[in-house]
Homo-oligomer: A and B are copies of this chain.
């Protein structure tokens, strides 16, 4: 496998993996491209490499910046904007954990809490609904605490956490 094959394979794999962490293909591919590019890239560069339209590139770059994993850079004397990705994969993981907690986990926890707090009326179905949503609430809450813990951790948290888990 040569460089170009390897790069394309990585970009397309990362692209289809996007759905795994809740982003679309183009967004994930742009991210992959920037992640392995030694130099910041312009919108033009990205459009060209991935064969996607200007509008698409613009929108997805914005979203990546909203996620806090891609940044604008300005080259001196140049009008054009350049983009880079967060290069430290652990920082990347932390940022993603933080955003997913905020966007998905926290809102879900709130709903689970509300649902599990309905009045107990003695029927089996109400009991079951309360019981199961309570259990999910607890689990989601624990997961959220863990994820936020991770966000405040030093760079090698994953390895350390692993060591602790395996004991």
Q: Are B133 and A162 in contact (CB under 8 A)?
A: no
Q: Are B126 and A3 in contact (CB under 8 A)?
A: yes
Copies of this chain: 2
**A residues 111-166 with Cβ under 8 Å of B?**
111-112, 114-115, 118-119, 121, 123-129, 132-133, 135-136, 139, 142-143, 145-146, 149-150, 158-159, 161-162, 164-166
- Inter-chain contacts of A145 with B (CB < 8 A): 162
Does residue A19 face the partner (Cβ distance < 8 Å to B)? Answer: yes
Q: Contacting A36 at CB < 8 Å: which of B1, B128, B158?
A: B128
Does residue A55 face the partner (Cβ distance < 8 Å to B)? Answer: no
Does residue A56 face the partner (Cβ distance < 8 Å to B)? Answer: no
Closest chain B CB from A86 CB (angstroms) = 11
Closest chain B CB from A124 CB (angstroms) = 4
Does residue A46 face the partner (Cβ distance < 8 Å to B)? Answer: no
Closest chain B CB from A50 CB (angstroms) = 16
Dominant SS at the A interface? Answer: helix
Q: Contacting A149 at CB < 8 Å: which of B10, B89, B150, B165?
A: B165
Q: Contacting A159 at CB < 8 Å: which of B93, B119, B129, B142?
A: B142
- Inter-chain contacts of A136 with B (CB < 8 A): 89
Does residue A95 face the partner (Cβ distance < 8 Å to B)? Answer: no
Does residue A30 face the partner (Cβ distance < 8 Å to B)? Answer: no
8 contacts between A and B (CB under 8 A): A1-B115, A2-B119, A3-B121, A7-B115, A9-B114, A17-B108, A38-B127, A164-B164
